[in-house]
Amino acid sequence: MLDSKILLDESFKILKKKEKKRNIKEFLKTLQNSFISSDDIYRSLEKYNINNVVKAFLKITKDRGNPILNIKSLSIIIADSYEIKKRVCKDFNVSFNTFNNIHSFSYWNL
């Protein structure tokens, strides 16, 4: 949708139309209204639990940024962040299981 060169407002309309979850539709509507009006995006998104980096990207996009480039960059950052969290959780689980196995082995062999 980013490469289609349609207006940001139209993009929000399309996303809202296709979305089934009420809370996501509400979020998209809030975001759309914030981009259309002169409202501060931080205040508009206050009721949502959104990472500050995402809010900052949205503010830059609204105030003076290139929406296509900013949203592509944001999607890369979010994907990378997700992968890092996934790896950390996996490594933590492996470490915890190893510790647990060593501890239970020594406990039963006393």
Q: Give pLDDT tens digits for 62-91.
A: 888 777 788 788 888 888 888 998 888 887
User: What 3-state class would DSSP assign to 66?
Assistant: coil
Q: Is 32 in contact with 9 (CB distance < 8 Å)?
A: yes
State the Cα–Cα distance between residues 32 and 42, nearest whole angstrom. Answer: 13
Q: What is the pTM of this model?
A: 0.63
Asked whether the predicted pLDDT for residue 29 surpasses 80, the reply is: yes
**Percentage of the chain exceeding pLDDT 90:** 5
Within 13 A of 103's CA, how many CA atoms are on the CB side? 6
Question: Residue 25: its pLDDT value, please?
Answer: 92
- Other CB atoms within 10 Å distance of the CB of residue 14: 14
Total count of domains within the chain: 1
User: Hey, what amino acid is at 41?
Assistant: I
Q: Is 57 in contact with 35 (CB distance < 8 Å)?
A: no
Query: 25-30 long-range CB contacts below 8 Å, 24 or more apart?
Result: none
The whole domain housing 20 covers 2-108
Q: Is 79 in contact with 89 (CB distance < 8 Å)?
A: no
